[in-house]
Structure 1
């Protein structure tokens, strides 16, 4: 056996797994023909909600428009 530790190619390329997954799904969707491409692209939209927990109880959920502003709600 080799003395080097095994690693994944996306890690060697300097990507996180989420960056790799996003890039591959985008490439896959762009490779589809219409009308499947349009249908798949609608699944690309993501939305986030934020809830503040106090004393172990979740507060009201508020939509997050920007991840940079998520802590300021």
Structure 2
């Protein structure tokens, strides 16, 4: 059994690895100079579709576009 001293610092801080990774990525993007900063911010946007199901059949999907800052 591992001790808490061997735990990664992000776990000791009560974060998940995904949360830690997202935090580090945002810090790095904010350190970039233009035009690289705006290009990196545009790449982080997420596009996905959601389909609701009724009577075992998918309904018309809706397209969503969210950015992490919203």
Shorter-chain TM-score: what band?
Answer: 0.5 to 0.7
Query: How far did 1:58 drift?
Result: 4.2
CA pair 8-53 structure 1, distance change in 2 beyond 3 A: farther
Number of residue-to-residue matches in the alignment: 64
Structure 2 residue aligned with 1:47: 47
Distance 1:8 1:43 in 2: 29
Counterparts of 1:2-41 in structure 2, within 5 Å, are 4=3, 6-41=6-41
Structure 1, gaps ≥5 residues long = 67-73
Query: How far did 1:17 drift?
Result: 2.1
Worse-superposed segment, 2-11 or 23-32: 2-11
TM-score, normalised via structure 2 length: 0.64
Query: How far did 1:3 drift?
Result: 5.2
Higher strand share: 2
Structure 2, gaps ≥5 residues long = none
